[in-house]
Each structure stands twice: as C-alpha cells, then as structure tokens.
Amino acid sequence: MEKKLKSWQGWLLFGGSMVVVFVLGLCVSALMERRAEVASIFNNRKNVIKGIEARNELFKDDFPREYQTWTETAKTDFESEFNGNIAVDALEKRPEMVILWAGYAFSKDYSTPRGHMHAIEDITASLRTGAPVNPTDGPQPSTCWTCKSPDVPRMMEALGVDSFYNNKWGAMGAEIVNPIGCSDCHDPEIMNLHISRPALIEAFQRQGKDITKATPQEMRSLVCAQCHVEYFFKGDGKYLTFPWDKGFTVEDMEAYYDEAGFYDYIHKLSRTPILKAQHPDYEIAQMGIHGQRGVSCADCHMPYKSEGGVKFSDHHIQSPLAMIDRTCQVCHRESEETLRNNVYERQRKANEIRNRLEQELAKAHIEAKFAWDNGATEAQMKDVLALIRQAQWRWDFGVASHGGSFHAPQEIQRILSHGLDRAMQARLAVSKVLAKNGYTGDVPMPDISTKAKAQEYIGLDMDAERAAKEKFLKITVPAWLEKAKENGRLAQI
C-alpha cells in the first residue's frame, strides 16, 4: 500500500510539474506574441512622434483600440447610487457646502467630475475660473491647468516649470486646448508609462525615493497619482506641491501645513484659516486593502479587454461599477448584485457621518460669525478657529476623494468621525465665548435650504457671475480655439 501511495505521489508530482511547465510555456508564448505585436506596431507606425505631442488624435492610427476606448470617456451615461460620469450640481444637493466654502471660489460652482475628454471644457465653463478678458486678468493662476491637458508638459518644457506656474490662468487659454490624453501617461515616442508632471517626482525626491525605480505595476498607479492627489500652490509663484513630506495621512498633511502656517483662504463668516483639500485619491487608496495588496488604479479603472484576439487596457477610465464583470469579478466570485451592494454599503455608512458633519460644521461657521458680531476677541476665538480648521480639513479630505469611502472605508469613517467630534467641540467652544460676552440664547440660523439661498446669505452676486462667464464663453474661448488652430495646437483630423 505504501509503495502504491508513493507511486501515485510521484505521478502527481510529475503531472503537476508538467502542468506548470505547460502553463509557463503558454505565458512565455503569449508574452513573445505580445512583444512581437508591439514591435510590429512600432516598426510600422504611421505617425512617428518625437518629443511631447499633445494632440491625442495623432495616436489614433497606431493605437486604434486604446484611442477608441479613450474617446468613450466623453460618455455621460452611467450613474451609481452616489457617483457616475454625469455632472451633478453638488451645491444644489448639499447647500451646506456653500457655507463651508464661503469666501472661496468653490462656493460659486462645484459639480461632480465627468470623464477625461471633458477636462478642458469643464474647467473653462466653471464659474471658479472666472471670466478673464486678458492674459493678466482673472482669479486663478495658470497652475490650475496642470492636470487638465497634455499641453501642460509641452508648455512647461517651452517656458520652464517656474514660469509656467507663475502666470494667470487666462494667459494659457490658447495653448492648453487638448483634453487629458495619451502623452499625460505615455512617453509619446516609445509609449512606456512615464511621469509627465514634476510635482510627483519632486515629492518623491523630498522623501528620498527614486521614482525611476518604480515597478511597472506601481507605474499603473503613479501615472494617476500625478493628478489624483492632495496638493497646494506654494508661495507667490503658485508652485504646485504635494504635502507628503511628513506622510500620507490626514494628520501628517495637517502637521505639514500647520508648520508652514499655510491656509488656502480665510473663511468669510468664521474668519478661520481654512485648508481646502483637493482630491487625495492616491493617498487614500494606499491606505485600503486593495492598495495594500498591490492592486493598481488601472486594474480596476482600466481593466484589460480582448478584441480579435488582442488584449489591451480599456482606456475608458470610469467607475469599476460600470463593468463589474471585468473589474471586481476578476478576483471576487460573488454576483454583480452582491459586489455592487458591498460598495454601496460602505458608501452609505460613510455618508451618514458626512451628512452630520456638514450640518454641524455649517452651524459652527455661522455661530462663529455671530460671536464676532457680538464682540468676541481674537484671544477668545483662537481655540474655536483651530477646531473649525481641523474639522473642515477632515471633512474635505474625507469627501473630496470621490471613491475614498470604498478605497479605504475604515480610514474614511475614522477621518469623518474625528471631524464631527471637532465640529461639535467648536460649537461648544463658541457657546462659551458667547456666554462670556453676555449671550446665552440660541444663535439664529439663516435659511440655507437651497444653493441659491446659501449663496445669497454669504453675499455672492450669482447673476453677475453667470453673466460674466456667459460673455467669456461666447467671446474669449472661441478666440482661444481659433488661435490654437492657427498655431497647429489642435489636430486637423
């Protein structure tokens, strides 16, 4: 019996080894075929590209599948329970956000993002960028263009990085005209993934890391991390900087900003020096289980697709919930309904805390204004402002990353709950200040039940804002595009 068992074990080991050899052989064969296909493409490229090329259409003939799927980022046909690729007026849905951003351009206009092909269109149409009438006019610096177009690295090369940032947004209107595309993530000559924005490289260097040593899998996230991160405009030159020197957590970045004495704006109501979070998607994703297990952004947002026997990355970058069969189910064997509900469950729980935090934080700003109006001193308000700053930083960090409640649900709920705690502490501190100044009643609350009412309360003239933007879109933007066409900045295809 023992001899028969050993004999079977031998055959099993032999058979298993042969299966491994066979599978490895298939993998090597597939790899060789892919290399041959890639070599064939590059040996027979119809458009030989040298240097930075921002015109996405010039990649169409050589990479038709990637190009076609990229054009699908123009679609606005998917909506999940909380997000999608449709522009939704977030201020209309959440008027408290108007109060939270009083004194900052986001209180005028904030919609959920659409696909990459809308990048230029959306930033141009946003009320946040104003209505500049000349290259030195307008509220925003040219740094605001940084993540919107492959024309950006082209202009950085032409002007120098410092000079690119140290301009007004309107100064670049006729140059930055192609939406996010090929050269943002690929070296145009050899198509390897590359980093085209200096801020990411510089952030790694300050941490003593060499980004050139990143693995191919890491690069499938790092090309996204050029833009989908928290950042700020440093100094008078508005130099784009990632606040990663102390680490990736909300507390690490807060410590970095506090040490530098930095704030994005002074709140119009509470007079708090506010930190405006951008969209720390990469940082938060690294804190969740998928990031910790080495899953890249592209694995879920750009899953592989097969067509005619050719395997390629789907460049229709969108929510994984729009294609669960090619994203979640590659690793998870549950049904689409189960996996979708798993995501919604995490989002709903985070949303409960978010709703409470926004309500309490808006009241804290209004109550702080009431305290100032009733004779509060800077010394009395010092602790109040510190708590409001901390609460709003945690709120914004937790909600500005649209996928955060799925990427790292425990971390997001921790951050938002700490924000709620500080908002409640701030309101308690304000009540003590008011009591010291002889007021012990309830603070009267304005009607901010709609976006329009909230904007009127904080003193915005939205009719004037919209009229100026409409004139800008009718006169200035067409002139930018005409000049870009004359200069060959737009592909004539």
List residues forming the annotated binding site for substrate: 231, 279
Residues 386 and 430: their CA atoms lie apart, in Å, by 12
Report the binding-site residues for heme c. Answer: 116, 144, 147-148, 182, 185-186, 224, 227-228, 290, 297, 300-301, 315, 328, 331-332, 407
Tokens read off for 286? 């690294």
Report the binding-site residues for Ca(2+). Answer: 230-231, 276, 278
Report the binding-site residues. Answer: 116, 144, 147-148, 182, 185-186, 224, 227-228, 230-231, 276, 278-279, 290, 297, 300-301, 315, 328, 331-332, 407
Say if CB 282 and CB 224 are below 8 A apart: yes
Per the DSSP assignment, residues forming a β-bridge with 186 are: 193
Residues 246 and 231: their CA atoms lie apart, in Å, by 14
90-94 long-range contacts (CB < 8 A, ≥24 apart) are: 91/451, 91/454, 91/455, 92/450, 92/451, 94/358
Phi-psi region of 178 (alpha: psi -120 to 50; beta: other; left: phi over 0): beta
Residues 258 and 410: their CA atoms lie apart, in Å, by 25
Residues 80 and 110: their CA atoms lie apart, in Å, by 19
Say if CB 169 and CB 134 are below 8 A apart: no
